[in-house]
């Protein structure tokens, strides 16, 4: 029987022997290619360069026959020590490991070279062996799932998670990218540059809707993992909701929002409040006049047609996220995915209670998913309490070491941005005596492919939304930054500056957002 029959995939539930299902009772043998296994081993021992054509993807466990797996392991060991691989050294290595007789002796190894007419097709033959191995792995995992599904004591949610993880690990192991020559890469890079030059403006990624942020990033870039971090009640959810609205309504690009903290209905209500700027108490209690209703329906007309997709699955696992994102990319053509927030995600693998390792696995997987699906992924993150323990306005500004639970977040992210509002800590004026009320900083603390900067926005806490600073508000000085007007928020600013009477004005006295 195949070597794989007793094994289990990391993170999956124990899998029983599959002989009953795919062997004797079923009357079928597992997928295999014994003749090609012999040919590949013989070719490697005849041609010294052959091992380098297959070693990148072909592993000992890919061989169906146990003896062949041991012979190939001996070949790998010789290669790792840069020793010759031939009919003399391979038996010697197996004898040293006391495994020569188990594989059939030196005579059997010598017979393998008789199966080879030429080593020219060794890679092609090896890939067939690898495909047979993937088929056996799928049968093994599926058989274990089948047996557990028949067990009434099985927890269905746990079975779904472990099954998805096992399939995910098989698929990850089967995806290999070939090395590409620099001339081809340069050709593709130049084509991308030429294509970017044809576009109006400088945005080449997904716009946030905030002018200076978009100029700094050129839009959120495909394959990037963006971490937006802040202390609780600083406005993380409000920021990504404002951004999702800009992307979907103003730019017509599809957005997926995964909310692990708030329900989809709560998010929809917040978006209505943000879009209409009606009193939140009125909307939550439904105490709206007929004029209010007419105004509300008019203002949310564009929002209701926007390509925004919200998923509020609690305790979402990274494997569920990957599957859902893949479907959304294929079916809804989403351009960006947002997670609120990272620390509420779960990892189905075995981390033995180590939360830091779990968060590390999650952040690393999110980066891999962004690359696989070729979209930017924005994940909100909490900061630890170190910020609270520091004194002074400048010291309250977050820094990379404040990221909560894992330094891997900083390592895996392409961009790390912090949301900082001085008034949250009671600072209402800067050193020049200028008001800081309603001022928010987006601090770009890490930017793998660009510059760092501090970007100022206005946070309108009564409506839980972020907008551009007004053009005459350049005097707000939290640092040497320049604020630029965004066309994407002209409607909001026009309402503000024209003194529009509908919605009712709300006091800006509270410092902490109620949402």
- Catalytic site positions: 261
Contact criterion met (CB below 8 Å) for 514 and 233: no
Give me 441's structure tokens: 């900083």
Other beta carbons less than 10 A from residue 78's beta carbon: 18
**C-alpha pair distances (Å), 400 with each of 188, 383, 388, 397, 439:** 34, 9, 15, 10, 21
- What does the alpha-carbon distance between residue 82 and residue 48 come to, in Å, rounded to a whole number? 11
- What does the alpha-carbon distance between residue 274 and residue 489 come to, in Å, rounded to a whole number? 12
Contact criterion met (CB below 8 Å) for 421 and 235: yes
Q: Are strands 453-460 and 465-467 parallel, antiparallel or unpaired?
A: antiparallel
Question: Sign (positive/negative) of CA torsion 407, 409, 413, 417?
Answer: negative
Task: Let me know if 342 is exposed, middle or buried by CB neighbors in 10 A (0-12, 13-18, 19+).
Answer: buried
Give me 128's structure tokens: 């067939």
Give me 470's structure tokens: 């007004």
By C-alpha distance, which of 390, 383, 388 is closest to 405?
Answer: 383
DSSP codes, 107-141:
HHHHHHGGG-S-STTHHHHHHHHHHHHHHHHHHHH
396-403: long-range contacts, CB 8 A cutoff, minimum separation 24: 396/420, 396/422, 396/425, 396/427, 397/441, 397/443, 398/229, 398/230, 398/231, 398/443, 398/445, 399/445, 400/445, 400/446, 402/229, 403/227, 403/229
């Amino acid at each position: 029987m195949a070597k794989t029959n007793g094994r289990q995939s990391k993170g999956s539930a124990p899998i029983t022997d599959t002989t009953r299902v795919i062997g004797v009772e079923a009357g079928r043998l597992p997928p295999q290619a014994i003749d090609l296994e012999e040919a590949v081993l013989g070719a490697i021992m005849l041609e010294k360069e052959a091992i380098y054509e297959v070693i990148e993807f072909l592993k000992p466990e890919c061989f169906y026959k146990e003896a062949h797996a041991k012979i190939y392991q001996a070949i790998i060991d010789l290669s790792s020590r840069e020793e010759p691989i031939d009919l003399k050294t391979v038996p010697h290595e197996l004898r040293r490991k006391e495994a020569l007789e188990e594989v059939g002796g030196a005579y059997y190894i010598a017979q393998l070279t008789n199966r080879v007419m030429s080593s020219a097709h060794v890679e092609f033959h090896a890939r067939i062996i690898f495909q047979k191995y993937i088929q056996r792995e799928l049968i093994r995992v599926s058989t274990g799932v089948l047996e557990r599904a028949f067990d009434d004591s099985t927890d269905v949610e746990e079975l779904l998670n472990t099954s998805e993880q096992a399939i995910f690990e098989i698929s990850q192991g089967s995806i290999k990218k070939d090395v590409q020559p620099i001339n081809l890469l340069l050709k593709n890079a130049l084509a991308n540059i030429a294509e970017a030059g044809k576009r109006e403006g400088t945005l080449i990624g997904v716009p946030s809707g905030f002018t200076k942020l978009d100029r700094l990033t050129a839009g959120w870039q495909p394959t990037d993992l963006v971490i937006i971090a802040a202390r609780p009640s600083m406005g993380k959810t409000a920021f990504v909701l404002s951004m999702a609205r800009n992307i979907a309504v103003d730019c017509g690009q599809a957005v997926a929002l995964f909310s692990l903290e708030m329900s989809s209905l709560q998010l929809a209500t917040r978006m209505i409040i943000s879009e209409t700027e009606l009193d939140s108490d009125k909307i939550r209690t439904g105490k709206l006049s007929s004029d209010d209703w007419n105004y509300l329906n008019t203002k949310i007309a564009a929002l209701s047609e926007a390509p925004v997709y919200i998923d509020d699955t609690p305790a979402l696992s990274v494997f569920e996220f990957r599957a859902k994102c893949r479907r959304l990319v294929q079916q809804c053509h989403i351009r960006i995915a947002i997670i609120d927030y990272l620390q509420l995600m779960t990892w189905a693998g075995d981390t033995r209670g180590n939360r830091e390792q779990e968060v590390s696995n999650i952040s690393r997987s999110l980066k891999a998913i962004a690359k696989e699906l070729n979209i930017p992924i924005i994940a909100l993150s909490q900061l630890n309490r170190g910020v609270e323990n520091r004194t002074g306005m400048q010291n309250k500004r977050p820094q990379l070491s404040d990221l909560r639970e894992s330094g891997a977040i900083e390592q895996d992210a392409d961009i790390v941005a912090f949301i900082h509002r001085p008034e949250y800590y009671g600072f209402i004026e800067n050193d020049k005596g200028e008001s800081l009320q309603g001022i928010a900083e987006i601090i770009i603390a890490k930017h793998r492919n660009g510059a760092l900067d501090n970007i100022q926005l206005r946070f309108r806490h009564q409506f839980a939304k972020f907008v551009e600073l007004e053009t005459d508000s350049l005097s707000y000085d939290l640092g040497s930054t320049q604020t630029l007007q965004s066309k994407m928020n002209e409607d909001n600013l026009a309402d503000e500056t024209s003194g529009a009477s509908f919605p009712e004005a709300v006091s800006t006295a509270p410092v902490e957002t109620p949402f």
